[in-house]
Amino acid sequence: MWTLALRGGARVAVVAAEWCDAFGVVTRGRVQLELRDGEPGPVLGRDAGFWLRGTGVRALRNPGRRTARVRIVTPRAVTCQSTHSVRQLPNDGANDMNSMNDTGVVAGPASGQTSRTHRLRRLAGTGFIATLAAMVATTLAAAFAQAVGVDFEIPDGGETIPLPGFAVVTGFFSVVGVVIAAALLRWSARPAERFVWTAVSLTAISLVPPLLSGANTATTTALLGLHLVPAAVMIPTLARSLRTRTD
């Protein structure tokens, strides 16, 4: 048994197998398989297992920034003879391979689906709690603004936005944020960074309608602040959850 450590962005080339029927498990971070034709293979997360066999995998990559680790387990002490070996390609000093024995090659995926489903469920649970918190925080902030004299008339002199309306809109867009986070966790190599960039951009865009609503200054200012309240709850919570899921 040995452990392969891949620093952020590192790539380890797989020439061929030295051991037969060995099995690998991702114990930290994420590892992407590079296929023989150069096409990117699946990204395997923590606890995903895969066989160390000659299954058309050319290399292992760490698509993230943090060190990923893969534990290699051999079911038997006798290894198969091979004229090939595993070599590690230079990657601007970013590669790092630590082993407890000289051996090994990484091959195709075996069981990443269960781990991925588990991560998505945990993210959904975190997102649900964060959504409720964002709805409560936004509604309370709107109630406080009304208490100090903000009328929330859109446009000025028009209809007043009811307090339940703030909760409904906040809940809807918070759920949209959770869906975006789940999609990035499923398909992006760097979900946390991508989510923060996307969420901040969407929050900035959402500040435009209050400025064009025709409301008075107090209402416009309050609406701008109420857009930032759920963002301050959802973005850090989901980003932290995404980082936890990919470590």
- 136 shares a domain with 212: yes
- 218 shares a domain with 124: yes
Q: Tell whether the torsion through CA atoms of 56, 59, 64 and 66 is positive or negative.
A: positive
- 118 shares a domain with 223: yes
- 169 shares a domain with 87: no
| Percentage of the chain exceeding pLDDT 90 | 42
- 145 shares a domain with 84: no
Which contacts qualify for 151-160: CB closer than 8 Å, 24 or more apart?
151/216, 151/218, 151/219, 152/215, 152/219, 152/222, 152/223, 153/215, 153/216, 153/219, 154/213, 154/214, 154/215, 154/219, 155/213, 155/214, 155/215, 156/214, 156/215, 156/216, 156/219, 158/214
Mean pLDDT of the chain: 79
Range of the domain at 129: 114-246
- 21 shares a domain with 95: yes
Reported as a pLDDT band with limits 50, 70 and 90, residue 56 is low
209: exposed, middle or buried (C-beta count within 10 Å: 0-12, 13-18, 19+)? exposed
Of 52, 87, 111, which residue sits at a domain end? 111
- 211 shares a domain with 166: yes
Reported as a pLDDT band with limits 50, 70 and 90, residue 15 is low
Identify the pLDDT of residue 182.
93
Contact 91, 11 (CB under 8 A): yes
Identify the pLDDT of residue 133.
97
